Amino acid sequence: MRHIYHLVPASTWNAVGTGPYRAESLATEGFVHCSNLDQVARVANLFFAHQAELLALCIDTERLGHPIRDEEADAGERFPHVYGPIAREAIVAVLLLERDAAGRWIFDDPLV
């Protein structure tokens, strides 16, 4: 079973309804940006450094029901992209990221 992670500010997650999760990028780019475990902290610090609270949706790829593609980003690194909304049953955990003493996001998935 493969887990991937979608980062979302806590305020955004708390405002969504109970149906399938649709990130803004699904409408604007056609997919939901996700990360592999070893990419989460780096992505969090690049794109969400100023967020007060940040969550990682832990997604079981076998429960998605939509295509997932590992695609190359600008630097040649591959990231998982989900081509459809994320079903609630595919989200197996909602994990709060923490900060280190320097204020940088750190992430360890307790499910791994």
Q: Coil, helix or strand for 64?
A: coil
Q: Domain of 60?
A: 3-97
Report which secondary-structure segment, H or E, holds 27: helix 24-28
- Is 108 inside a domain boundary? no
Give me the number of domains the chain comprises. Answer: 1
Q: For position 72, what pLDDT does the model report?
A: 92
Q: For position 1, what pLDDT does the model report?
A: 82
- Please state, in angstroms and rounded to a whole number, the distance separating the CA atoms of residues 62 and 30: 20
CB 44 within 8 A of CB 97: yes
Q: Give residue 46's identity as a one-letter amino acid code.
A: L
- Is 102 inside a domain boundary? no
- Please state, in angstroms and rounded to a whole number, the distance separating the CA atoms of residues 96 and 74: 27
Span 44-70, average pLDDT: 95
Concatenate the DSSP letters of all residues of 30-57 into one string.
SSEE-B-GGGHHHHHHHH-TT-SSEEEE
How confident is residue 112, by pLDDT bands cut at 50, 70 and 90?
low
Where residue 106 falls (left for φ over 0; alpha for ψ -120 to 50; beta otherwise) is beta
- Is 103 inside a domain boundary? no
CATH code, 62: 3.20.170.20
- Is 32 inside a domain boundary? yes
The mean pLDDT value of the chain amounts to 93
